[in-house]
Amino acid sequence: MSSLVSSVKARRLGQVAVDACLIALAYYLAYALRFDSGVPNRYEELLTDTFAFVLVMKLAIFALFGLYSKLWRFVDQRDFESLVKAVVVSSFVLIVALFLLSPGDISPPRGVMALDFLLTLALTVSARFLVRAVVERPRGAFVQSAEREVLIVGAGNGGQQVALELRRNPGLSTAPIGFIDDDPRKRRMRIAGLEVLGATGDLPRVLDDTQPSEVVIAIPSAPGVLRQQVVTACRSRNIPVRTLPTTFELLSGGVNLVRQVRELKVEDVLGREPVRVEIDRVGAYLRNHTVLVTGAGGSIGSELCRQIARVSPRKLVLLENGENALFEIARELDEERHFGRAVPVLADVKDATRMAEIFEEHEPSVVFHAAAYKHVGLMEENPVEAVRNNAVATRIVAAAAGEAGIERFVLVSTDKAVSPATVMGASKALAEWAIEAAQHRYRSTNYAAVRFGNVLGSSGSVVPIFRRQIAAGGPVTVTDERMTRYFMTIPEAVQLIIRSGELATGGEVFVLEMGDPVKIVELARNMIRLAGLEPDEDIAVEVIGQRPGEKLHEELFNPGERPQPTPAEKIVSALRPAPEAEWVESAFLRIEELVYGGDAAGLAGAVTELSAERSLIVGGPSRPGL
């Protein structure tokens, strides 16, 4: 490491030395070029007397503008802008100094000052351009010998970095051949040594002309519509498409841009702009606090742990009932993310005594309750356990949190809790009721629920099911061609949960504005195309009919609820009337009696009856909070 630091320092000193030579040369040539027949004696004395001052002054100003803070091989547009500013300021200082310090009868010629400015700028800029050009120059016959040629969509910073990395790494045997960019100002320009060949609408023509081996979408924030347009054009020509990762993925997984180029994922072409929040800012309320996450080994719970660890809590308690899942998230936080303040706790949220012990031992300030059973079909076959784990356990943990006097409690809910038609949905609706009742009973704790749609890539969700079906050669099964669902990514869901915890003041149900729902059959077809196959030709799409209780279209709000804006973009709260606390208590007493008695048939009837009563209550006038 010390030798590396010494090498960098030596190179920067070399840069200072080169600039010193160029500044000296520019100052001398300014006089020599100004006077064709030789520099007059009086000006020759002025040159000699001011030479050292000009050299030291300009180098000092260059350093103040940060021109030696990086190696020249990495200079970019901002560095050239800083160089221009530094030359302007140093020339201004030189003019002022010479007019103030020179004898009255010897004023510096204006032509000399102008030439010095132009020569200094030209020489210093040229030196940096030369170094960068040498670094970026393909080595040997790289372009001719490259096995693969890449067309880059996006001529911005991301695209330029991809082109630069490909040129720097001939071992990749991949050469960039041009850009596609929709900015009309870049049309037919050469950027990073490559021509902008056209806009996205010209992509079919450009693909036919260039016949690249691969297309890379180098716009991390590109909308799904643009990605889909690129995929469609490339798919018909059997050209694979990859994309740059988002900023979130780069921060989570490394910084090597070329190695981070990944295959397109289904969320890239959903057509909805992903929700991005600054987790370090919105999660600041967790810093130096003890945070408890239930279900810490699940899809949502584990991502909650990863993102919470980034904001430096005092302690992160990982509560999980599955031994392997708990081991994996604890190991990842410690060994891969170097977070040493995670405490794994193996426990069951349905055990009231154990929950009270955990709250007393660890004294958390914030609880994220993500523990739940979520597989709809499986819960239909096990209704007692569904209600016991999702509803009764939520009431147990919420009560333990209230008794311990914690600051915030956030329940992870689902859109299936809205007008529930399945046991799983009803159990999550009951969980929301439990939060309502807890808010009445423990007013010093701010309770909130977060309601969102399907999560892409979570265990048991439709996307991994479709992937397995595609890998097996099909068919991909869809229950109804009309069926739609709301979708979001796991990081989006977790950002919403953490942001909602900050917004909670007591009793809110927060909902993400998720855009338009996605047709499941179109999702299936897109996934088949992303796999390089053609739906209904290579892979069959089979409609198998709705399952019992399955809705054609999920909703985000119950009848009688209405969205209310919050300070957070894309997050709203559901305004609704609250039931009487006594009604919720009596409802849970009835539910718990049936759960602990194992009466599945009686439980189903009771849940249906209570849901109907709750709908009548919600159908009344709305008001915020509980």
Alpha helix (H) ranges present in 332-392?
Answer: 352-362, 376-381, 383-387
For every residue of 579-593, DSSP letters joined together read PPHHHHHHHHHHHHH
Of 266, 275, 269, 302, residue with least CA distance to 465: 266
Point out the least confidently predicted range of 27-31, 58-62, 76-80, 447-451.
76-80
pLDDT tens column, 336-369 = 888 889 999 999 999 999 999 999 999 999 999 9
Confidence (pTM)? 0.63
Pick 108 or 30 by higher pLDDT: 30
The overall average pLDDT reported for the chain is: 80
pLDDT tens column, 501-523 = 988 888 888 987 777 788 888 88
Of 439, 393, 369, residue with least CA distance to 579: 439
Of 174, 229, 191, residue with least CA distance to 207: 229
Point out the least confidently predicted range of 86-90, 311-315, 478-482, 565-569.
565-569
Q: What is the dihedral of CA 70, 74, 80, 81, to 10 degrees?
A: -70
Question: How would you label 17-47 residue by residue, b for 16+ Cβ within 10 Å and e otherwise?
Answer: ebbeebbeebbebbbeebeeeebeeebeebb
Cβ proximity of 370 and 318 under 8 Å: no
pLDDT-derived band of residue 625, with 50, 70 and 90 as boundaries? Answer: very low
| Secondary structure of residue 392 in the 3-state scheme | helix
Beta strand ranges found along 168-321 (DSSP E) = 174-180, 190-191, 194-198, 214-217, 241-243, 262-263, 290-294, 315-320
Cβ proximity of 431 and 413 under 8 Å: yes
Question: How would you label 398-425 residue by residue, b for 16+ Cβ within 10 Å and e otherwise?
Answer: bbbbbebebbbbbbbbbbbbbbbbbbbb
pLDDT tens column, 127-148 = 888 877 676 555 444 445 557 8
Residue 564: the pLDDT is: 83
Q: Which contiguous run of DSSP H or E holds residue 125?
A: helix 110-136
Q: Is the pLDDT of residue 252 over 80?
A: no
Q: Is the pLDDT of residue 50 over 70?
A: yes
Percent of the chain with pLDDT over 70: 82
Rounded (10°) angle between helices 600-618 and 423-441:
60
Point out the least confidently predicted range of 267-281, 388-402, 486-500.
267-281
Count of positions (residues) in the chain: 626
Residue 194's DSSP bridge partners are 191
Residue 39: the pLDDT is: 74
Cβ proximity of 501 and 507 under 8 Å: no
Cα–Cα distances (Å) from 431 to 123, 572, 602, in that order, read: 71, 20, 19
Choose from 16-25, 234-243, 421-430 the range with maximum mean pLDDT: 16-25
DSSP 8-state class, residue 108: P
Cα–Cα distances (Å) from 588 to 278, 593, 607, in that order, read: 39, 8, 10
Residue 369's DSSP bridge partners are 294, 411
pLDDT tens column, 149-168 = 889 998 887 788 888 777 77
Domains of the chain: 2-136 (no CATH), 142-264 (3.40.50.720), 279-453+487-515+567-618 (3.40.50.720)
Residue 315: the pLDDT is: 95
Residue 242's DSSP bridge partners are 216, 263
pLDDT tens column, 567-617 = 887 788 887 766 667 777 777 888 888 877 776 777 767 776 776 666 655
Backbone φ and ψ of 525, nearest 5°:
-65, -40
Choose from 9-23, 72-86, 138-152 the range with maximum mean pLDDT: 9-23
Backbone φ and ψ of 476, nearest 5°:
-90, 125
The amino acid that residue 404 corresponds to is A
Point out the least confidently predicted range of 71-75, 241-245, 339-343, 415-419.
71-75
Cα–Cα distances (Å) from 331 to 313, 338, 339, 343, 368, in that order, read: 18, 10, 10, 11, 20
Alpha helix (H) ranges present in 211-319?
Answer: 224-235, 247-253, 257-260, 279-282, 299-310
Cβ proximity of 511 and 572 under 8 Å: yes
Average pLDDT over residues 400-407: 95
Q: Is the pLDDT of residue 254 over 80?
A: no
